[in-house]
Amino acid sequence: MKEWYLKRQHTKAINGRKQQLSWMLRKQKELPQKIAEEIKKLLVGTEKLLNNPETTASNLKALQEKLDGAVTKTYREWKQNIVWQTFDELWLVIVLALIVKFFFLGSFRVPSGSMMDTILIGDNLFVLMNRYGLTIPFRDRQFVSWGTPDRGDIITFTEPTKDRKALVKRVIGLPGDKVFVSGTTLRINGKEATRVKKGEVSYTDSQGNAVETVQYREKNIDGKEYNVLFKKGVTDNNRLLFEQKYCRYCGIEFTVPEGHFFAMGDNRDNSYDSRFWGFIPRNFLQGTPLFVWFSIQFGDSIIDVEDFRPLRIGHIIK
Question: Which residues 6+ apart lie within 8 Å of 101 measured at CB?
Answer: 107, 129
Interval 46-66 mean pLDDT: 88
What would the mean pLDDT of 181-209 be, rounded to a whole number?
A: 94
Integer CA distances (angstroms), 242 to 163, 247, 248, 251, 309, in order: 23, 7, 11, 11, 34
Match domain 107-312 to its CATH number in 2.10.109.10, 3.30.470.20, 3.40.47.10, 1.10.3720.10: 2.10.109.10
Q: What is the pLDDT of residues 132-152, one digit of tens each?
A: 887 766 666 777 778 899 999
d(CA 290, CA 161): 26
Band of residue 87 on the pLDDT scale cut at 50, 70, 90: low
Distance CA 117, CA 172 (A): 17
pLDDT at 77 over 70: yes
CA distance 49 to 44: 9
* Residue 169 annotated as catalytic: yes
- The pLDDT value recorded for residue 192 is 96
Q: Of the given ranges (10-14, 216-220, 245-249, 266-270), which has the lowest mean pLDDT?
A: 10-14
Predicted pLDDT of residue 80: 61
> Higher-confidence residue: 19 or 263?
263
Cα separation, 290 vs 127, whole angstroms: 6
pLDDT winner (highest mean) among 74-78, 110-114, 299-303: 110-114
* Mean pLDDT of the 244-270 span: 96
Q: Residue 230's beta-bridge partner residues?
A: 214
Specify whether 206 is catalytic: no
Candidates 265, 228, 258; CA nearest to 154 is 265
Q: Which of 114, 271, 274, 295 is catalytic?
A: 114
How far lies 234's CA from each of 183, 194, 251, 264, 269, in Å?
Answer: 10, 20, 17, 19, 9
Q: Which of 7, 79, 112, 169 is catalytic?
A: 169
Q: So where are the chain's domains?
A: 2-80, 107-312
pLDDT score recorded for residue 109 = 93
CA–CA separation, 108 and 137 (whole Å):
15
- Report the pLDDT averaged over residues 216-231: 96
pTM summary value: 0.71
CB 254 within 8 A of CB 182: no
